[in-house]
Amino acid sequence: MHHKFGDLAPEWYIPPRMAITVSPVNMEKRKALDVRAGDTVRVTQKIPEKGKFRLQVFEGLVLARKHGKEAGGTFTVRRVLSGVGVEKIFPLYSPMIEKIEVVKRSRVRRAKLYYIREKVAREARRMLRRTRMMGGSAAAEEKLEAAAEAEVRADAEPVAAEVVAEAKND
């Protein structure tokens, strides 16, 4: 064995060629997933309950990706749930995330899509005004709000099947 300690290496020394598992997450697959702003993703998250874990799915539009592919990288996902916009920030390499699936890819011209918050609210207010003038119900208002969010994401192109297949194998 050739290392800087000669033949007698201390017990704490680990040769560089031996792999060290730092995280239970397959970091190479997560890195290759390439989640970008404008993608619609389905994130399956582990939630601890009574000593066990249950899986919860959160599907929405990726507004931002921060800190790139490094260890602390995060992405922000937005979704409208029962008329209320909900945003969650997920760490890319978190062991509490079971899998990340890219449902569809949209072509966007910005790296951060924070303007969509105001755009969806503006669309919802416009639709609300229209329904109030016509005497619409609360259920119709929620439906229109969800339609406004869908309209923002309408300019999407489907993801190649192999990218989705790789995400499922994660």
Domain that holds residue 60: 27-163
Residue 11 lies in a domain: no
Tally of domains in the chain: 1
Q: What's 159's DSSP letter?
A: P
pLDDT at 4: 66
Inter-residue long-range contacts of 80-88, CB under 8 Å, 24+ positions, other chains counted:
80/120, 80/145, 80/146, 80/149, 82/142, 83/141, 83/142, 83/145, 83/146, 85/117, 85/120, 85/121, 85/149, 86/60, 87/63, 88/43, 88/58, 88/60
pLDDT at 75: 94
Residue 13 lies in a domain: no
Residue 43 lies in a domain: yes
pLDDT at 89: 95
Which of 72-81, 126-135, 148-157 shows the lowest mean pLDDT across its residues? 148-157
Residue 131 lies in a domain: yes
First to last CA, the chain: 36
What single letter denotes the amino acid at residue 134? M
Residue 19 lies in a domain: no
Residue 10 lies in a domain: no
Output the domain CATH number for residue 98. Answer: 2.30.30.520
Residue 77 lies in a domain: yes
Average pLDDT for residues 16-44, to the nearest whole number? 80
Q: pTM for this one? A: 0.63
Residue 71 lies in a domain: yes
pLDDT in tens, 46-105: 999 988 999 999 999 999 999 988 888 999 999 988 878 899 999 988 889 999 999 999
- Band of pLDDT at residue 26, cut at 50, 70 and 90: confident
- Band of pLDDT at residue 31, cut at 50, 70 and 90: confident
Give the chain's mean pLDDT.
79
